[in-house]
């Protein structure tokens, strides 16, 4: 399970019937462990504030977390004289998890008949929410999802991460009337994505395609040459005619421009962008990094003429790859939304 930025006592809600993914409050047996994580977060916050004062890092006006204030603002209890442990227990019982709630009916059994998230693999709920985020960042999705998909606030399985549960909770709960309104809209958006997925999953083949996509976008998003190669390969898999025997020249330049962001206004610019991106992908695949650098120079000459490079932050190469990857990621979100919302229409487009 992972925690997301929704709060309050809720009944379990299945978001995708065919995957069995849903949200609920924490199971009773997990509350003690989460309370310990909340205590760890308070200690880390106290250490941060003391260190900031000691080394004069700045005037931090945000005090230590006050669990009783969080509980009071959210109206989660009438008890006014409880100790810290009591208020942390109340907070933990009002946290919301994203989890595979109905594994018995889930298509995830095609991968593993025993459990949805083997212990040495990334948790499936985390893969699911990352997929939801990229799908709903498309312009087309905004007409259906008027609130962003909730984000992860804590992953108990990630031993390298610091808990930020109270940090997010105190921020959201202190905003008047925001919590309930956000909850209702966020649930609506998540249910919409779940419905899209369920409508798409009509066969085992559909599941394997979906699973490949989910795993492809789950990996690190450090914008480097490998990420560029990976995202271009996924885009090509989705839009290129599967009967074209791997030849993408011409077809990519014809199909990809319709999904590119509005900053590339001229069709010629979009076509040139697609041509450079396709060539970059091929040069990486064949290890021709001399030609790769020349293509980056061509991209800068055409699309980054007035860009101010801060080489204390990134190298010029990294700035260039970042720019390309951001455009490709935006295009991918548009492609994925159409792929899942218009299955038959997209198939015709793919075969055209």
Instruction: Say what the pTM is.
Output: 0.89
Backbone angles phi, psi at 295, to 5 degrees: -70, -35
Q: What tokens does 329 get?
A: 């990621």
- The pLDDT value given to residue 346: 94
> What distance lies between CA 42 and its chain's CA centroid?
27
- The pLDDT value given to residue 321: 96
Those residues of the chain that have pLDDT short of 70 are: 57-63, 175-177, 220, 245-246, 263
Instruction: Work out the end-to-end distance of the chain between its first and last CA atoms, rounded to an integer number of angstroms.
Output: 41
* CA torsion, ordered 274, 276, 277, 280, to nearest 10 deg: 160
Neighbours of 267 (CB within 10 A): 11
What strands lie across the sheet with 21-25, from one edge to the other?
13-16, 21-25, 95-100, 2-7, 152-154
pLDDT digits (tens, 9 = 90+) for 93-126: 999 999 999 999 999 999 999 999 988 889 999 9
- The pLDDT value given to residue 176: 56
Cα–Cα dist 42/169, whole Å: 13
Tell me the angle at which helices 267-285 and 316-341 cross, rounded to the nearest 10 degrees. Answer: 110
pLDDT digits (tens, 9 = 90+) for 35-75: 999 999 999 988 888 887 777 766 555 567 889 989 988 88
- The pLDDT value given to residue 144: 83
- The pLDDT value given to residue 58: 60
* Distance set, CA 281 to CA 102, 251, 275, 288, 296 (Å): 40, 15, 10, 10, 12
- The pLDDT value given to residue 63: 63
- The pLDDT value given to residue 180: 77
Longest dimension (CA), the chain: 71
Query: What are the contacts of 58-66 at 24+ separation with CB within 8 A?
Result: 65/41, 65/166, 65/167, 65/170, 66/170
């Amino acid at each position: 399970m992972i925690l997301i930025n929704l709060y309050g006592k809720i009944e379990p809600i299945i978001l995708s019937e065919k995957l069995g993914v849903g949200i609920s409050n924490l199971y009773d047996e997990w509350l003690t462990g989460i309370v310990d994580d909340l205590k760890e977060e308070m200690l880390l916050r106290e250490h941060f504030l003391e260190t900031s004062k000691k080394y004069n890092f700045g005037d931090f006006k945000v005090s230590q977390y006050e669990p009783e204030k969080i509980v009071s603002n959210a109206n989660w209890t009438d008890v006014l004289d409880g100790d810290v442990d009591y208020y942390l227990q109340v907070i933990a019982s009002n946290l919301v998890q994203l989890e595979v709630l109905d594994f018995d009916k889930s298509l995830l059994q095609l991968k593993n008949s025993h459990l949805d998230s083997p212990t040495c693999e990334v948790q499936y709920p985390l893969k699911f929410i990352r997929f939801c985020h990229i799908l709903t960042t498309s312009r087309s999705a905004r007409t259906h999802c008027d609130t962003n998909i909730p984000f992860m606030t804590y992953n108990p399985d990630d031993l390298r991460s610091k808990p930020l549960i109270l940090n997010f909770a105190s921020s959201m709960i202190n905003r008047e009337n925001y919590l309930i309104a956000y909850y209702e809209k966020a649930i609506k958006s998540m249910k919409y994505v779940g419905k899209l997925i369920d409508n798409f999953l009509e066969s085992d083949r559909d599941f394997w395609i979906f699973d490949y996509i989910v795993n492809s976008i789950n990996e690190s998003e450090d914008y480097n040459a490998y990420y560029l190669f990976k995202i271009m390969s996924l885009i090509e898999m989705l839009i290129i005619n599967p009967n074209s025997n791997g030849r993408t020249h011409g077809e990519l330049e014809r199909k990809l421009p319709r999904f590119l962001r509005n900053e590339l206004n001229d069709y010629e610019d979009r076509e040139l962008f697609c041509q450079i991106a396709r060539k970059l992908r091929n040069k990486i695949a064949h290890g021709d990094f001399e030609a790769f650098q020349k293509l980056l120079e061509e991209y800068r000459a055409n699309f980054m003429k007035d860009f101010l490079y801060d080489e204390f932050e990134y190298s010029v190469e990294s700035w260039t790859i970042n720019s390309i990857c951001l455009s490709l990621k935006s295009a991918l979100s548009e492609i994925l939304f159409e792929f899942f919302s218009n299955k038959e229409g997209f198939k015709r487009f793919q075969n055209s």
